Amino acid sequence: MKHVAVLMGGLSAEREISLVSGRACAAALEEAGYRVSRVDVGRDVDVVLRRLAPDVAFNALHGRLGEDGRIQGLLDLLRIPYTHSGVRASAIAMHKPTARLLFAAAGLPVAEGRTCSVEEMTRTRPLEPPVVVKPVDEGSSVGVTLLESWDALDPQTWPEGRELLVERFVPGHELTCAVLGDEPLAVTEIVPASGGLYDWRAKYEPGGSRHLLPAPLPKRIYERVLEISLAAHRVLGCRGVSRADLRWDPSRGEEGLVLLEVNTQPGMTPTSLLPEQAAFRGISFRDLVVRLVEMARCDP
């Protein structure tokens, strides 16, 4: 049976969630009969991987170093096939302004936006509020801020010189769609449990959100989300699995759909969005991780 090293933890802000993802994946792979080594990824990961010499690396990392192409480059170098996307797709997806350029060039809908530093933003006040300001390369809504007016801008929120993305706020529904292999799985709508504003803070508070699966959308909107998510996966050259985040403003019909980003390392805790969509399509958590292992490869 294959020896799988499950890479988890790591050095990013999303370390804790990755440990939960990694433990769940490792347990499922053991149940499926694989020989499993759990690797809490540190700066010595190259030495650890050379010593373990696994047949496959299961990448359960999130955020910097694990999701941005760097660990993928190391695995290519070591010739260890790995799950999820390769160097290029990972690096591009992680840098939102670059991903937006490719999406737009492929005719996919993105929110109106500008890239700038905190200082430029304070000086030029790009776009009419409400706007969303976010770091170009963080995940899990880290540093994402809604500004109802430019007077509400607190430059202290972000470090000086930090590259930021300012986007027009898209009101309405929060949607997400995973693509497994070459197939979009389903569309989930994420709604705050409190029945309050459709804002992203509620999304990550414990018990703060409900998942509606399948999302209760008009058929043509649902279908269009599947299409956009698959196209985005392909434009970036993603592998194995990805998950697209979108917003939909129903007052604008099909025109109201906006692609926010593609996640190349979607959450893999048993209650995460991707495992939930897989289950909805009849794919158990164990089958999902096994499929990912069987799709593992590295670039020559």
Ligand X SMILES: Nc1ncnc2c1ncn2[C@@H]1O[C@H](COP(=O)(O)OP(=O)(O)O)[C@@H](O)[C@H]1O
Q: Which residues bind ligand X (CB under 6 A)?
A: 111, 132, 134, 138-141, 144, 167-170, 174, 200, 245, 247, 260-261
267 is catalytic: yes
Question: Residue 162 Cβ, how far from ligand X at the closest point, in Å?
Answer: 15
**Which is the catalytic residue, given 12, 14, 63, 66?**
14
Size of the site for Mg ion (CB under 5 A): 1
67 is a site residue for Mg ion (CB under 5 A): no
Question: Residue 41 Cβ, how far from ligand X at the closest point, in Å?
Answer: 20
For residue 283, what are the contacts with CB-CB under 8 A and spacing of at least 6?
A: 180, 291
For residue 249, what are the contacts with CB-CB under 8 A and spacing of at least 6?
A: 170, 171, 172, 173, 256, 258
Question: Residue 172 Cβ, how far from Mg ion at the closest point, in Å?
Answer: 16
198 is catalytic: no
245 is a site residue for Mg ion (CB under 5 A): yes
Return d(Cα 163, Cα 137) in angstroms, integer. 9
Burial of 129 (0-12, 13-18, 19+ CB in 10 A): middle
CA angle 110, 100, 226 (to 5 degrees): 55
**Which is the catalytic residue, given 204, 223, 252, 254?**
204
Return d(Cα 141, Cα 155) in angstroms, integer. 18
85 is catalytic: no
CB-nearest residue to ligand X: 200
Q: Helix, strand or coil for residue 5?
A: strand
* Binding residues vs Mg ion (CB under 5 A): 245
Active site positions, annotated? 14, 140, 204, 243, 245, 261, 263, 267
